[in-house]
Amino acid sequence: MIQLNKISYVGIFLLFVLLLAGCSNSEGNTTPKQEQEGTTPEATVKVQEAEGQQTRKVMDAKGEVTIPANPQRIADISGSTEELLILGFKPILSGNTDMADPTLLTPIVKEKLGKSTSTAGWFQTEINLEALVAASPDLILAGPTQEKVYEQLEKIAPTIRVPFGFNAFRDRFAFVAEVMDKTTEMKSWLKSYEERAADLHSQIEAVTGQETFAVIEATQKEIRIYSRTGVAAILFNDLSLPMAPGTPEPDPWGGKVTSLEALASFDADHILLLAENDQNVLEQNDIWSNLRAVRSGHVYRMTTRQNYNEAFFALGKLAVMEQISGDILQKKN
């Protein structure tokens, strides 16, 4: 079994690059939201009695699966724990683990589920099957990363193969809602989220007008400018804030590595800075202090860890959107 230890942020980023590059449905792409939701594979539901227990037949990523009609012990290793919570389910095992320590749940999931929910590693890596067996699930949700252990998973409990990975938030949410027969609840939550995003957009626009925004990540070795995925998707897609001219076309993972020299000509009015601390290649350079957003005090900070723990999942996206909007409005008022 794979037992995951703490991973360096550099190693995590390289893994994210590979994972995001492999996801064809980025949450930050410009396809209208309604169209994105409509791309989800159909899940055919048939309720039957099997051995005295009510079951449901659904179509997952590979074919028909018979699952409990009312599962009580869900093990989620697909990255859908926050969405399951919204739909009214409380997984007894989750793969939504902390970026820095895959033995721990993310703060939001931990707050909602407490210590009773166990882990089996991060859902985008090969999970610990022994921990999964110990949880005694009656239903497993597994993502694309778990494909090679599917036969072992289905021996533990009925397993739904969720075909959408890390950054395909809307498609993943829609698929899970359909197979769990909770589409109405999903649509209600998304409607509320989009209404809140529109309200915050109006509040921000009232004080910033057409001022531009940029998302920059700074590590000890390099600088990355994001325009899609994670917090960038929240800023530019959900909140519809103006992107700074000169934002580079992103690589498949949603951003672009850039140089300090190139950053000098990329002068946004507002910068959301992703950094673990101020000991990074950007803030130790004079170019940084001369940027317009820095001079005017319009820099808003969050950690890379928070971005990857929260900004790709339903409850986290809402929390990050509220946090960023509050920071912008506070500095402008």
- Residue ranges per domain, the chain? 36-181, 198-332
pLDDT in tens, 174-226: 999 999 999 999 999 999 999 999 999 999 999 999 999 999 999 988 999 99
Nearest CA to 226 out of 12, 83, 15, 27 is that of 27
- Whole-number pLDDT of residue 62: 87
What distances in angstroms separate CA 298 from CA 20, 40, 95, 242, 267, one per listed residue?
A: 29, 39, 36, 15, 12
Average pLDDT in the 155-164 region?
A: 97
What distances in angstroms separate CA 232 from CA 7, 32, 98, 270, one per listed residue?
A: 24, 16, 20, 13
Q: How confident is the model at residue 38 (pLDDT cuts 50, 70, 90)?
A: very low
Paired sense of beta strands 74-77 and 139-142, if any: parallel
Average pLDDT in the 45-74 region?
A: 82
User: How many whole angstroms separate alpha carbon 299 and alpha carbon 293?
Assistant: 6
Domains 36-181 and 198-332 share a fold: yes
Domain spanning 198-332: CATH superfamily: Nitrogenase molybdenum iron protein domain (3.40.50.1980)
Lowest mean pLDDT among 17-21, 125-129, 145-149, 201-205: 17-21
Place of tokens 């009232």: 206
- Whole-number pLDDT of residue 240: 98
pLDDT in tens, 280-311: 889 878 899 899 999 999 999 999 999 999 99
- Whole-number pLDDT of residue 252: 83
**Fold of the domain built from segment(s) 36-181:** Rossmann fold (3.40.50)
User: How many whole angstroms separate alpha carbon 226 and alpha carbon 229?
Assistant: 8
**pLDDT at residue 87 above 50?**
yes
97: DSSP letter:
B
Q: How confident is the model at residue 122 (pLDDT cuts 50, 70, 90)?
A: very high
In the chain, the amino acid numbered 102 is P
How many Cβ atoms sit within 10 Å of the Cβ of residue 194? Answer: 12
User: How many whole angstroms separate alpha carbon 139 and alpha carbon 191?
Assistant: 28
What distances in angstroms separate CA 252 from CA 17, 57, 227, one per listed residue?
A: 8, 35, 11
Q: What angle do CA 93, 316, 99 make, to 5 degrees?
A: 60
User: Which residues in the chain belong to E strands, given as ranges?
Assistant: 46-50, 53-59, 64-68, 74-77, 93-94, 118-119, 139-142, 159-161, 213-218, 223-226, 255-258, 270-274, 299-302
User: How many whole angstroms separate alpha carbon 90 and alpha carbon 111?
Assistant: 12
What is the spatial order of strands in the sheet that 64-68 belongs to? Answer: 46-50, 53-59, 64-68
- Whole-number pLDDT of residue 52: 56
Q: How confident is the model at residue 10 (pLDDT cuts 50, 70, 90)?
A: very low
Tokens of 37: 């939701």
Q: How confident is the model at residue 260 (pLDDT cuts 50, 70, 90)?
A: confident
Phi, psi torsion values for 299, nearest 5 degrees: -115, 130
Nearest CA to 327 out of 306, 285, 297, 289 is that of 297
pTM for this one? 0.84
In the chain, the amino acid numbered 155 is K
Nearest CA to 226 out of 251, 205, 201 is that of 251
Q: How confident is the model at residue 51 (pLDDT cuts 50, 70, 90)?
A: low
- Of the chain, the percentage scoring pLDDT greater than 70 comes to 84
Q: How confident is the model at residue 28 (pLDDT cuts 50, 70, 90)?
A: very low
Q: Quick one: the chain helix, strand, coil %, rounded to 5? A: 40, 15, 40
**pLDDT at residue 115 above 50?**
yes
The answer to whether 108 and 312 are in contact (CB under 8 A) is no
